[in-house]
Amino acid sequence: MPTMTEKIIQKHLTEGNLERGKKIALTIDQTLTQDATGTMAYLQLEAMGVDQVKTELSVSYVDHNTLQSGFENADDHKYLQTVAAKHGIYFSRAGNGICHQVHLERFAKPGKTLLGSDSHTPTAGGIGALAMGAGGLDVACAMAGRPFYLTMPKIVKVELTGRLNKGVSSKDIILKLLSTLSVKGGVGKVIEYCGEGVKTLSVPQRATITNMGAELGATTSIFPSDEITEAFLRKQQRSEDFVPLCADDDAVYDESYTIDLSTLEPMIAMPHSPDNVVSISEVEGKPIDQCSIGSCTNSSYMDMMSVAAILKGKVANERVSLTISPGSKQVLNMIAQNGALADMIASGARILESTCGPCIGMGQSPITNAWSLRTFNRNFYGRSGTLSANVCLVSPEVAAASAVSGVISDPRKVDYELPQEPQEFIIDDRCIIKPCAAKASEVEVIRGPNIKELPMNQRLSDTIEKPVLLKVEDNITTDHIMPAGAKVLPYRSNIEKISQFVFRDVCADFAQRCHDNNGGIIVAGSNYGQGSSREHAALAPMYLGIKAVIAKSFARIHHANLINFGILPLQFVNEADYDAVEEGDVLRFSNLSMLKPNEPITVDNLTKGTTICLSHSLSELDITTLSYGGTLNLIKAEQNKQN
Ligand code: MIC
Ligand code: SF4
């Protein structure tokens, strides 16, 4: 009676059992990294002294930091290419496509575990893989053959019935779910899709849904592997990778929901959260300034074909800047060959390279006070690079229809020809460099001057006495903590430099405060650290001397990243204590060497003369890791013992 998740976990389990909420460890079959998190991950792999990766497959993608306005990003790419060749890792060159789109096309396999240093790794759940995002250090550990630790998630069933109407897309399915469950609704859970409606969705449509499961905070999301999956793999010339996967009929779930696809309408997530969803009819007619189509959520061949069909013979409205980034070289090649790209170009669309681009603020920041419609997955405050912009998330059909009219538009009212599924995909893997074990020893790893040494934390002291340097509200994202964008991303391999940007748009003098107080404590509301997997949101605060984060609750990946870098993640037991604590209060943590799993701790607020009760969800291993000042210190200590 197992679910799909339980079947895959059972096969990969190295510690623990399927009891919900308990720690488990899994073997990882495949890993992926991208260039914004990859440099750190490979520096960590090198620090572990690993020669060749131990996974079945590891791929390093270049897709985020592709704007080369200085030498930094190009140097990182060279490092990534050479370090991949040295350690047995496939290397997908800049221009070959967005990691999740290319991985879905060329590598992801049903029934396998995939760990990626990017929060949208669950995209591969669309093909039936158990695909999870993690910090770069966890991915480096997986490449080194170490298991991946996580909390056994609850399993949620989402039954899809009916069929989508023309103009309604799989993006609207996940936006609907986000409106029901919120950005916290998936924390600690895997979302499994089933039902007759699943059969009406192609693998890339399924992948749009599992991709944005990350916005629910879910550990991952997964679809069955069925005849649709088999056909997709066959068209990708990967028939041998097909294995069937579905939940047993009597599988038991922790929660369940039903969505009737035939009743859905186009939806839109309003600023500044992916769960701030309304139906398009509520905002139809609002003038817009920008439409950006692409990202790992919506850049598949069929997405591009729908966009081209809507744009055909028309021109983008004069007030709208329209950008299109096809998700991969495969997609770009196909639309170039069948003429769809010509329709896009004729419409005045600005065709961008097959990368993340505007999604991560790598260019195309909209005008002041803009209304920008994007087919992406995140519209967090400031992420576009224009703080005053109003970014909304929509389907490709809504974006294309609105680009033409210049106002938010319902694609159901537009006359366009529905595209046909391709008979086959163009297969050309020449931009993916295969590692050659025989030549690995001859490879010289090239490091540019911006690639600095990894900073290490110190061991945890028994007593910490530090001020609260910042108090923030609920749902703080990693974009708040460690902003991205074209100006900051080039410093992803230079922690000293990037740490100056921590909390830039929330508290401009945060780095200075840390410096003046020789570090301190952060206090936060619920779901702290939601969003990306970027470990820089833990590593850079660690570098600034942050010792602990006390929150109402944490997002999964960020919680793990804090532990990896030796920052204590603690939780308020009483809401009133969150309300009472203020910036500047000095807190004293005592007896930290006595920290035990499941045992609450007390902390003295020396300024207020009060005592605060805190809980945590740290395992024995987490506590040991923290005591060493992080995972790398612990691994090094283990290695020293063995030698
Ligand atoms: C994102 O969408 O926020 C990113 C950029 O892809 C991140 C990774 C990063 O910050 O490098 C993610 O989703 O994990
Ligand atoms: Fe790239 Fe955007 Fe996808 Fe992150 S969400 S991987 S930045 S396309």
**C-alpha–C-alpha distance, residues 257 and 239, integer Å:** 32
What digits encode the pLDDT tens for the residues 429-481? 999 999 999 999 999 999 999 999 999 999 999 999 999 999 999 999 999 99
- Tell me the average pLDDT across 33-52: 97
Do 249 and 311 sit in the same domain of this protein?
Answer: no
Q: For residue 641, give both structure tokens.
A: 């013992």
Do 503 and 637 sit in the same domain of this protein?
Answer: yes
Task: Name the phi and psi angles at 314, rounded to 5.
Answer: -120, 170
Using the atom order of ligand 2, give the atom closest to the CA of residue 294.
8
227: which DSSP letter? H
Dihedral sign from CA coordinates of 485, 487, 491, 497: negative
Domain annotation covers residue 104 = yes
Do 328 and 254 sit in the same domain of this protein?
Answer: no
**Domain of residue 565, CATH code:** 3.20.19.10
Do 166 and 294 sit in the same domain of this protein?
Answer: no
Q: For residue 192, give both structure tokens.
A: 């499994």
Could you say which of 246, 263, 280 is where a domain stops? 263
**C-alpha–C-alpha distance, residues 557 and 563, integer Å:** 10
Instruction: Decide: 484 in ligand 2 pocket, CB within 6 A.
Output: no
Q: What is the pLDDT of residue 643?
A: 78
**C-alpha–C-alpha distance, residues 305 and 298, integer Å:** 11
Q: Is 234 exposed, middle or buried (0-12, 13-18, 19+ CB in 10 A)?
A: middle
- Tell me the average pLDDT across 586-606: 97
Do 34 and 131 sit in the same domain of this protein?
Answer: yes
Do 241 and 293 sit in the same domain of this protein?
Answer: no
What digits encode the pLDDT tens for the residues 74-133? 999 999 999 999 999 999 999 999 999 999 999 999 999 999 999 999 999 999 999 999
Using the atom order of ligand 2, give the atom closest to the CA of residue 297.
3
Q: Are 586 and 606 in contact (CB under 8 A)?
A: yes
217: left (phi over 0), alpha (psi -120 to 50) or beta: left
Residue nearest to atom 3 of ligand 1 (CA): 532
Mutational pocket test of ligand 1: of 120, 378, 380, the residue with most ligand atoms within 8 Å of the beta carbon = 120
Instruction: Decide: 37 in ligand 1 pocket, CB within 6 A.
Output: yes
Q: What is the pLDDT of residue 92?
A: 99
Using the atom order of ligand 1, give the atom closest to the CA of residue 378.
2
- Tell me the average pLDDT across 617-633: 98
Do 507 and 595 sit in the same domain of this protein?
Answer: yes
Domain annotation covers residue 424 = no
The strand pairing partners of 91, in sequence order, are 60, 433
Do 64 and 140 sit in the same domain of this protein?
Answer: yes
Q: What is the pLDDT of residue 356?
A: 98
Do 193 and 253 sit in the same domain of this protein?
Answer: yes
Q: For residue 514, give both structure tokens.
A: 């840390």
Residue nearest to atom 1 of ligand 2 (CA): 356
Nearest to 136 by CA among 151, 116, 107, 122: 116
Q: What is the pLDDT of residue 300?
A: 98
Q: List CB contacts of 589: < 8 A, sequence separation 6 or more.
A: 463, 464, 465, 548, 568, 601, 603
What totals of helices (H) and strands (E) does the chain contain, helices first? 20, 27
Q: For residue 397, give both structure tokens.
A: 């059909």
The percentage of the chain sitting over the pLDDT mark of 90, rounded to a whole number, equals 99
**Domain of residue 56, CATH code:** 3.30.499.10
Mind spelling out the 3-state secondary structure of 484-521? CCCCCHHHCCCHHHHHHHCCCCCCCCHHHHHHHHCCEE
CA 284 / ligand 1 centre spacing (Å): 30
Res. 17: pLDDT tops 90: yes
344: which DSSP letter? H
Residue nearest to atom 7 of ligand 2 (CA): 360
**C-alpha–C-alpha distance, residues 124 and 105, integer Å:** 9
Do 301 and 251 sit in the same domain of this protein?
Answer: no
CA 533 / ligand 1 centre spacing (Å): 6
**C-alpha–C-alpha distance, residues 440 and 249, integer Å:** 48
CA of 298, nearest ligand number: 2
The percentage of the chain sitting over the pLDDT mark of 70, rounded to a whole number, equals 100
The whole-model pTM stands at: 0.98
What digits encode the pLDDT tens for the residues 140-167? 999 999 999 999 999 999 999 999 999 9
Res. 642: pLDDT tops 90: no
- Tell me the average pLDDT across 259-281: 98
Q: For residue 57, give both structure tokens.
A: 């497959």
Q: What is the pLDDT of residue 226?
A: 98
Range of the domain at 373: 267-413
The strand pairing partners of 465, in sequence order, are 588
Q: For residue 258, give both structure tokens.
A: 């039903």
The strand pairing partners of 13, in sequence order, are 26
Q: List CB contacts of 163: < 8 A, sequence separation 6 or more.
A: 197, 200, 261, 262
Dihedral sign from CA coordinates of 473, 476, 480, 481: positive
Instruction: Decide: 394 in ligand 1 pocket, CB within 6 A.
Output: no
Residue type, 131: A
What digits encode the pLDDT tens for the residues 325-368? 999 999 999 999 999 999 999 999 999 999 999 999 999 999 99
Q: Are 525 and 102 in contact (CB under 8 A)?
A: no
Nearest to 324 by CA among 313, 338, 311: 311
Mutational pocket test of ligand 1: of 118, 295, 491, the residue with most ligand atoms within 8 Å of the beta carbon = 118
Give the lowest-confidence range in 216-220, 373-377, 610-614, 638-642.
638-642
Domain annotation covers residue 528 = yes
Q: What is the pLDDT of residue 509?
A: 97
Mutational pocket test of ligand 1: of 33, 37, 501, the residue with most ligand atoms within 8 Å of the beta carbon = 37
DSSP-based three-state secondary structure for 119: coil
What digits encode the pLDDT tens for the residues 399-410? 999 999 999 999
Domain annotation covers residue 347 = yes
What digits encode the pLDDT tens for the residues 361-376? 999 999 999 999 999 9
Residues serving a catalytic function are: 63-64, 118, 378, 532, 534
CA 586 / ligand 2 centre spacing (Å): 39
Long-range contacts, stretch 509-513, CB < 8 angstroms, 24+ apart: 510/469, 510/470, 510/544, 511/544, 513/469, 513/470
Do 529 and 483 sit in the same domain of this protein?
Answer: yes
Q: Are 372 and 389 in contact (CB under 8 A)?
A: yes
What digits encode the pLDDT tens for the residues 57-69? 999 999 999 999 9
Could you say which of 263, 283, 311 is where a domain stops? 263
Long-range contacts, stretch 602-605, CB < 8 angstroms, 24+ apart: 603/550, 603/570, 605/580, 605/581
Q: What is the pLDDT of residue 261?
A: 98
Using the atom order of ligand 2, give the atom closest to the CA of residue 36.
7
- Tell me the average pLDDT across 418-426: 97
CA of 558, nearest ligand number: 1
Q: Which pLDDT band holds residue 242 (cuts at 50, 70, 90)?
A: very high
Domain count, the chain: 3
Residue nearest to atom 3 of ligand 2 (CA): 296
Domain annotation covers residue 422 = no
Domain annotation covers residue 258 = yes
For the chain, the C-alpha Rg in angstroms (whole number) is 24
Q: List CB contacts of 70: < 8 A, sequence separation 6 or more.
A: 490
Do 253 and 276 sit in the same domain of this protein?
Answer: no
CA 360 / ligand 2 centre spacing (Å): 6
Res. 168: pLDDT tops 90: yes
Alpha carbon distances (Å) from 78 to 85, 236, 393, 498:
11, 29, 34, 20
Domain annotation covers residue 90 = yes
Domain annotation covers residue 426 = no
CA of 357, nearest ligand number: 2
Q: What is the pLDDT of residue 554?
A: 98
